[in-house]
Homo-oligomer: A and B are copies of this chain.
Amino acid sequence: MGGSQLRRSLPIFSIGSVMQLTELSARQIRYYEEHELIFPQRTEGNRRLFSLNDIDRLLEIKELLEQGINLAGIKKLIEVVHQQETQAEVKQEEKAKRDLSEQELRKLLRNELMQAGKHRSSLRQGDMSRFFH
């Protein structure tokens, strides 16, 4: 499968949006980053930009915290699970994508969006929900 991995790692959400989507405070989100549980990108002006993957991880962190696990434990868990994932064959494609330039990323994204119109009438929504799978 093509750009789904790419889409989920696109850094596009402001911290305000993430707060709403996760019901976490800015303090909490920054704290988790400080402890290296998430690694949001930054804008030129140093504002944090979160991806869907970041949001998923934040929700995971929240849930595990509610289960009484502390940040150290959660961090270790994430590491372990991530290691397991590293033995997956999806890695090649991912790595290739990760090396693309910003420009190329946008082009790729746009092309994918454009192709969405093939399904329905040309004016029907391009399927942006592809960002969400």
Contact = CB atoms under 8 A, between A and B. Distances in A.
Contacts of A71: none
A56 B121 contact: yes
A50 B65 CA distance: 31
A62 B1 CA distance: 27
A16 B4 contact: no
Contacts of A112: 132
A99 to B, nearest CB: 17
A115 to B, nearest CB: 10
Given A60-B122, A124-B81, A131 B52 contact: yes
Given A8-B121, A64-B128, A128-B64, A43 B16 contact: yes
